[in-house]
Chains A and B, each alone.
Chain A
Amino acid sequence: MPSSPAAPAAPAVELIGIDKRFGAVHANRAVSVAIARGSIHGIVGENGAGKSTLMSILYGYYQADAGEIRVGGRPCRIHSSHDAIAAGIGMVHQHFMLVDDFSVLENVMLGIEGAPLLREATAKARAALADLSRSYGLDIDADAVIHDLPVGLQQRVEILKALYRGAEILILDEPTAVLTPQEVDQLFLMLRRFRELGKTVILITHKLREIMAVTDRVTVMRGGAVVDTVDTAATSREQLAEMMVGRKVLLQVEKPPATVGAVVLDVARLSVIDGSGVARVKDVSFNVRAGEIVGVAGVSGNGQSELLEALAGMRSFTGNVLVNGKAVTADHHYSLARMLRRRRVSHVPEDRQREGLVGPFAANESAILGYQDDPACNGLILMDRRKIVARCQTEMRSFDVRPCNPVLRTAAFSGGNQQKIVLAREIERDPALLLVGQPTRGVDIGAIEFIHRRLLEMRAAGKAILLVSVELDEILALADRILVMFDGRIVGELPRAEATEAKLGLLMAGIEGHA
């Protein structure tokens, strides 16, 4: 534990009785949290638990309906991010807010140039940035252009931006989502250094392991309210998960040994070149057999998404893809994506909101996306809407979608329930091959368990499953074989038994030697 400064030990930030409603949704219910100066404080909770709302209130994006914010013991009104910055609060967003074509220095000084002439301002900023880098040990080339930097360094620029604006309290929203395990370690070293220097860090994450690794105290939220705030040392992952969900959850679903059958998907020398002429997938070959889950690991943006889209018929590619030994081709009437569906290839896309579902559609309409011309739900001309609704109702029941209402707008369902609608649609078609991208992204812990169990059931039923995920935990929990992609290539293949986080991490970072 860090030693508090000798001065009166007012918390760095104190949120007292924060209450916020959006229409009928009670996003924050009388939330009170005190965050000690010079500590790393974690906030965990499922989607919709209200942690993002709470942080948005602290950073001035929303105003609380009731309650008080105190910074350094003094009541503080925060009406905009300007107020927050003035109060010494900085925020590092999950999606970086950087100008890609600007240099590190230009990004850091953007908006607070501080002198009428750019030359003068740049000189000042450069000196200040050098100071910051030195005192926090944040090594960075001030003249590097953002889009040349790896994601880990881009995040460092975001942190420097906050520090440059005088942040004493740093909020990090899901900071590890885009990092390799090694980059995560570096980030945590950085956060510990901040703590030594007396800064306060608020870490929002859904990864309980990270909470355990780096925080001093942790606040658990559920349904808009604080369940408890506890010392990290006095709790465990299981206990935190139980508090988040409100019941006991299995963090690791039991996985029986695989009974592997014939090759279902055979990919040979597949390459994808995107619209702007950049090679996204480079000469990739692998196969997936019946009854096994093949996991594709990698830091986001290394070609996994493009590989999955190519296999699902959403992107053009070169190379050979055989499904059950036969090539699949589009013809005049049917696009490749449709032909694949007819050959019993199901696809759970990475971006369920924009690809897997249509937000304004009723749930039952979204539940036939891709299968809209299935004879089962069509008459000669008109669709059999009654049958479609009934089918959706059945699927919703068997996948425990809540609310179980097929005519509700798709966008009105929570992330986890939307994902269940997609999974139900794809799994209930009894596919031979299931392509799955990020099945639990933005999904509650309780639903993660459910989804993992369903995927393992599919595996037990002898289906071939290709799983693309940036969550290493998920790959390790489900896959029988693991392919690691870096820069569009498969740089390594490991059987599950030989895969360790360290080995995978090195491969994900493109450091050869294992492949």
Chain B
Amino acid sequence: MAAAPASEIPRWVDYLLVPLVNLGVALLLTGVVVVAVGANPIEALKSLVFGAVGYPEAIGFTLYYATNFVFTGLAVAVAFHAGLFNIGCEGQANIGGLGVGLVCLALGQWPLVIVFPIAVAAAALFGAAWAFVPGYLQARRGSHIVITTIMFNFIASALMTYLVVHVLIEPGQQAPRSSDFAPGLWLPMAKDLTRALGIDIGDPPLNLSSLLAVLACVLVWLFIWHTRWGYELRTVGHSERAARYAGISRTRAIILAMLISGALSGLVAVNDIMGVHHYLPVGWTVGVGFVGIAVALMGRNHPVGIAMAALLFGALNQGGSEIAFDIPQITKEMVVVIQGLVILFCGALENMFKPQIAALFRRRAVAEAT
């Protein structure tokens, strides 16, 4: 009866130490894999770190990747606060791309200051619309959100391929892509800013969207913990019966959470389509939605944690490509294995070492108490 809840461990242990231990184990196991293919793990680690943060261009790439992961990480987290597991960020980002593409293709003559907010709104709106359907089906019909969002990833992918290949394709061209957006609509790049200041950082895709990601972190934090809607959403996520008691509509909370989640996923398109590609390609999302799940899990569904986890995954992404370049034994596929290990330990198995670490700290707390 008098048992203290088992989870009463210092917060820094839960939020910092446990993820770091997980990361350490993942890297250790990665080392084993690296040795198995006949490469030097120390060299590989050096290459990874250098490739991720060793020089300005690398940092730019890392931040660019992190921007995408912030959006999808936040998207997963918002849904998670309402007790939903949104696996569909990939598809929602993809459809968000349609929104950005249509706006940029249609408003080619307009100035960026006006088009940027419209494109952001379109990305969010399209992403939200794509997430609305699974949300509605979950809330009203009880269709499991995990299943429907996964299915919607495939539908989004097929739909986008069809639209790009048959409708939006650049006239007279073979490549499955739309025509280029007007250069006036390309988002300002970090490299242009630094060049103006007289510093050359090479050619990283880092652009204005990263500020949007920072803004999104702040807004999500305010929404979840400082508005009545966020409050209701969390209540539904924690206890359906408490929500019923409080007269909170579960249906509305679920749909609202999915709309916001989808909107955040859609913003990935602002970074990639408007910031980097400057046209609408097919299959451009390359797993960013799935990494978002790991990012949210590792970041404990808090914007600060998500930002940190996104930076880590951004670094892994960028450093990983560098390893493949530096060390011939480690192929591009091997890099995916390494990233998979990190996701496995930091995301899926995040609680593997927690009981032991918690026990350790409880024992210490007892020792102090006596």
A24 and B1 in contact (CB under 8 A), knowing A359-B239, A382-B222, A383-B228?
Answer: no
Residue of B8, B226, B235, B249 near A369 (CB, 8 A) is B235
Q: What separation, in Å, do the CA atoms of A49 and B1 have in the docked complex?
A: 8
A53, B5: Cβ atoms closer than 8 Å: no
A370 with B1: in contact, given A23-B362, A361-B238, A381-B227 (CB under 8 Å)? no
Minimal beta-carbon separation of A62 from chain B (angstroms): 9
A349 — which chain B residues lie within 8 A by C-beta?
A: 245
Contact A337 B245 (CB under 8 A): yes
Contact B245 A53 (CB under 8 A): no
Residues A53 and B247 in contact, CB atoms below 8 Å apart: no
Interchain CB contact under 8 A, A25 and B246? no
CA distance A383 to B248 in the complex (A): 17
Q: Is the pair B3, A25 in contact by a Cβ cutoff of 8 Å?
A: yes
Given contacts A23-B362, A383-B231, contact A347 B245 (CB under 8 A): yes
- Interchain CB contact under 8 A, B241 and A48: no
Please determine whether A355 and B232 come into contact, CB atoms closer than 8 angstroms. no
CB of B244 within 8 Å of the partner chain: yes
Closest-by-CB residue of B relative to A55 is: B1
Residue from the list A50, A355, A365 in contact with B241, Cβ < 8 A: A355
Q: Which residues of A contact B369 (CB under 8 A)?
A: 24
Interface string of A347-391 (1 = CB under 8 A from B): 101010011111111000100111011000010011101000000
Interface string of A391-429 (1 = CB under 8 A from B): 000000000000000000001100000000000000000
Minimal beta-carbon separation of B236 from chain A (angstroms)? 10
What are the residues of chain A within 8 A of B228 when measuring CB–CB? 372-373, 378, 383
Are B1's CB and A52's CB within 8 A? Answer: yes
With CB as the reference atom, state the residue of chain A lying closest to B369: A24
Interface string of B281-302 (1 = CB under 8 A from A): 0000000000000000000000
In the complex the two chains form, is A372's CB within 8 Å of B1's CB? no
The contact of B231 among A24, A224, A356, A372, by CB within 8 Å, is: A372
Q: When the two chains form their complex, are residues B245 and A369 in contact, meaning their CB atoms are under 8 A apart?
A: yes
* A334 on interface, CB distance cutoff 8 Å: yes
Contacts of B235 in A (CB 8 A): 358, 361, 369, 372
Do A22 and B239 have beta carbons less than 8 Å apart? no
**Chain B residue total in the interface (Cβ 8 A):** 28
Q: Tell me how far the C-beta of B337 lies from the nearest C-beta in chain A, rounded to whole angstroms.
A: 36
Task: Give the chain A neighbours of B242 by CB distance below 8 A.
Answer: 354-358, 369
Residues in B lying within 8 Å of A, measured CB to CB: 1-5, 8, 222, 226-228, 231-232, 234-235, 238-239, 241-242, 244-249, 362, 365-366, 369
- What are 10 A-B contacts with C-beta separation under 8 Å? A22-B4, A23-B365, A47-B1, A337-B245, A337-B246, A339-B247, A341-B247, A361-B238, A365-B231, A383-B231
The answer to whether B247 and A337 touch across the interface, beta carbons within 8 angstroms, is yes
Least CB distance from B210 to A in Å reads 25
A330: nearest chain-B partner, CB-CB: B247
Of the four ranges (under 10, 10 to 19, 20 to 34, 35 or more), the interface on chain A belongs to 35 or more
A382 and B227 within 8 A (CB)? yes
Contact among A52, A338, A359, A383 with B247 in the assembled complex (CB-CB below 8 Å) = A338
CA distance A53 to B4 in the complex (A): 12
**Nearest 6 pairs between A and B by C-beta?**
A337-B247, A338-B247, A370-B246, A22-B3, A27-B2, A335-B247
Alpha-carbon separation in the docked complex, A347 to B242 (Å)? 12
- Residue A314 interfacial (CB < 8 Å): yes
> A358, B238: Cβ atoms under 8 Å?
yes
List chain B residues, Cβ under 8 A from A25.
2-4
Q: Does A445 interact with chain B (Cβ within 8 Å)?
A: no
Whether the pair A314, B5 counts as a contact (CB closer than 8 A) is no
Which chain A residues lie closer than 8 Å to B231 at the CB level?
365, 368, 372, 383
A351 to B245 Cα, complex, angstroms: 10
Q: Is B2 a contact partner of A383 (Cβ separation < 8 A)?
A: no
Q: Determine whether A433 belongs to the interface, using a CB cutoff of 8 Å to chain B.
A: no
Q: How long is the Cα–Cα vector from A224 to B226 in the complex, in angstroms? A: 40
B255 to chain A minimum Cβ distance, whole angstroms, is 15
Q: Does A336 interact with chain B (Cβ within 8 Å)? A: yes
Contact assessment for A351 and B241 in the assembled complex, using a CB-CB cutoff below 8 Å: yes
